A and B are shown apart, each in its own frame.
Chain A
Amino acid sequence: GESVGLHLPTLSVQEGDNSIINCAYSNSASDYFIWYKQESGKGPQFIIDIRSNMDKRQGQRVTVLLNKTVKHLSLQIAATQPGDSAVYFCAETWGAQKLVFGQGTRLTINP
């Protein structure tokens, strides 16, 4: 069945370095991929999305890359800050029906 998974459950980076969080998906019919950030004690918050006909999309300090050939999605965070500490989820959707979430990666920032 369709699934969205993550390569690493945890990621530690030095403050100021760039972070890369990876995600694998299996549903070729997905038309949007979305990254969410969940801070401790809060619900997930939308970060950025990418349509399936795109390879790259940039936001403020974040970039999402989509490689449909290998069904891989990544979130790059530039100049990581303490406030970036959170769990990051990738999710996919098709036909605007519902989202399927991956397991999440916990990003920890070292001072």
Chain B
Amino acid sequence: DADVTQTPRNRITKTGKRIMLECSQTKGHDRMYWYRQDPGLGLRLIYYSFDVKDINKGEISDGYSVSRQAQAKFSLSLESAIPNQTALYFCATSDFRDRANEQYFGPGTRLTVT
């Protein structure tokens, strides 16, 4: 079984709809991240959480919100989806003890907003 799972894997939604992307991990890591990937722009950090009570904005948090329901679960919400939020979304985890901050990524969710 995969260590980091994301649901759904693909989603098409309409402008203005609320949508939630979910991430679960079995690695026992305390740190979790949400990234967005657009063609030619690499991965950009949306939000990150260092433990259940810690939530931090990344470089592109506007239009997104997150919830850390448990150590193993971190969800990303788009309150009112817009077409320029069409992208590939990745969840990642890391161990606070790892100075190199190696991150383990999920398989991604491809989101299309029409």
Contacts and interface: CB of A to CB of B under 8 A. Distances in A.
Interface of A: 9, 31-32, 34, 41-46, 49, 51, 89, 93, 96-99, 101-104
B40 A9 contact: yes
B26 to A, nearest CB: 15
Contacts, number: 57
Given A89-B43, A103-B42, 5 more contacts: A41-B108, A44-B43, A89-B42, A96-B100, A101-B42
Contacts of A34: 100-102
Given A89-B42, A104-B42, A99 B103 contact: yes
B40 A98 contact: no
A97 B41 CA distance: 21
Contact of B105 (A45, A51, A97, A104): A45
Given A32-B100, A98-B48, A42 B42 contact: no
